[in-house]
Amino acid sequence: MNTENTRYLRNMSGYGPTPPKAEWPGGAKIAVQFVINYEEGGENCILHGDAASEAFLSEIVGAAPWPGQRHWNMESIYEYGARAGFWRLHRLFTSMGIPATVYGVASALARSPEQVAAMQEADWEIASHGLKWIEYKDATAESEKADMLEAIRLHEEVTGAKPKGWYTGRCSANTVALAAELGIFDYISDIYDDDLPYWIEAGERDQLLIPYTLDCNDMRFATAQGFNSGDQYFAYLKDTFDCLYEEGATGTAKMMNIGLHCRLVGRPGRVMALKRFMDYAQSKGDVWFARRIDIARHWQAVHPAVRFERPSRMDAERFVALYGGVFEHSPWIAERAHALELGAAHDTVIGLHNALCRAFRSATKDEKLAVLKAHPDLAGKLAAAKALTADSTAEQASAGLDILSEKERTQFTALNTAYMGKHGFPFIIAVRDHDKAGILAAFRQRIDNDSETEFATACGQVERIAFHRVGALLGGDA
């Protein structure tokens, strides 16, 4: 079966309820990472060969592109970022001894050699922010890749080294895949979906992604429902820091990304709020101020990529071979589950179990009854004859049902006979949840249920048994 149209490409699961221990250097409770976006001179401008002027992230509210014309005010606002804002941020960061990563637009860096020299003297990381700071949502994959390659070439020409990190920003659905395909980046950041780095599989290569931020970002000074004052900005950064710091104190340390722009937070009326936050963060203990490349190298060393066979990527034959026995002697459930819209969320114990249960729950009553009848009696003739499936053998042994006294065997035989006679299917219970005494007690209690109630109860127990079996196959950490 071709599953291309039944596979969900987004990952809604992530690390789930138990994220990994970040183990930041020195036992830090939080990693704080500042990004200075250097875009001035790389924005849309007809002097740069673009069709229209820039209209994004400036002091001009509601700006629109001017086709075929220079927008003198817009250009001047961007120039402020290079001429004044950058140096204000440079003085602030160097005076406080806090490192930064620069997202440098290659064409902007080429037009700002003094700023590049200052970045390098301060030992800031200079990651790539693309060739030009333009929109790529409608670009072809071929043209976007060509711009990436030219950005890397120009970046190396201007800075003396290829970039180790990539962030387009105004990206397309192809951006992450194209950047990963190049195979040269320690990290890619065109995602906003987590508080920790994570790995993706890019063909034969494992690619690290370090999520970025649009909320702890000074761009909100220039967007609707954003920051109107430095006080709002400081309060939001402080609340974010306090939440993550508290989580780190309880053992789940995270990363705080803070995005800056020279022409925005570099203004005098805003930069003092940034300084107040930096003072506040420095006043706390156990804070790691890091460049993004430092975070990437830490994650590579402490949390290297781990590959496993993912259920959502298996063909039907492999899927059924592995999971066809999860529901006793009923491989058709795995066949139907494989045809569902599976994705990364189903590569976990809970996710895969849910997909299999959906196939079981949507079956007819007769099909469900057949599944119930496929289960063996507890401590019955099949067990005595050693004719149970491997799963059933292990499950019954886990509760001691493989070692019964003659009295206990007589009890189970009588109960099995009575139960089958009344309800028409074997008594089913997830024995891994119980001991022998608990099983006997449940047996005696449930035998008196009406058959409709007991049918529903038995189906629920079948699903519970399946959960244990999936857990054994995937492993509790999958």
Sign of CA pseudo-dihedral 44, 260, 144, 224: negative
Strand-strand pairing, 342-343 and 165-166: unpaired
Q: What is the DSSP string of 439-457?
A: HHHHHHHHTTS-HHHHHHH
58-70 burial code (b ≥16 CB/10 A, e <16) = beeeebebbeeee
Q: Are 122 and 102 in contact (CB under 8 A)?
A: no
Side chain identity at residue 182, one-letter code: L
Quote the CA–CA distance of 356 and 335 in Å, as a whole number: 9
Please choose, from the candidates 172, 181, 167, 165, the residue with its C-alpha nearest in 3D space to the C-alpha of residue 141: 172
Q: What is the sign, positive or negative, of the torsion defined by CA atoms of 46, 47, 50, 54? A: negative
Residue 307, judged by CB atoms within 10 A of its CB (0-12, 13-18, 19+), counts as exposed
Given a contact cutoff of 8 angstroms between Cβ atoms, the answer to whether 108 and 288 are in contact is no
Does residue 325 contact residue 389 with C-beta atoms inside 8 Å? yes
Element housing 159 (H / E): helix 141-159
**In this structure, are strands 198-202 and 205-209 parallel, antiparallel, or unpaired?**
antiparallel
The one-letter amino acid code at 61 reads V
End-to-end alpha carbon distance in the chain: 25
> Which segments of 160-206 does DSSP mark as H helices, in order?
175-182
Instruction: Tell me the one-letter amino acid at 139.
Output: A
Please give the structure tokens belonging to residue 334: 């795995």
Cα 85 off chain centre by: 34
375 catalytic, yes or no?
yes
Helix (H, G, I), strand (E, B) or coil at 309: coil
Q: H helices within 160-291, ranges in order?
A: 175-182, 230-249, 268-283
Looking at 257-401, list the stretches that DSSP marks H as alpha helix, in order from N- to C-terminal side. 268-283, 292-302, 316-323, 331-338, 349-361, 365-374, 381-384, 390-398
Catalytic one of 71, 90, 298, 375: 375
Tell me which residue of 390, 350, 304 sits closest to 475, measured CA to CA.
Answer: 350
Does residue 177 contact residue 200 with C-beta atoms inside 8 Å?
no
Q: How many angstroms separate the CA atoms of 184 and 162, rounded?
A: 9
The catalytic residue positions are: 375
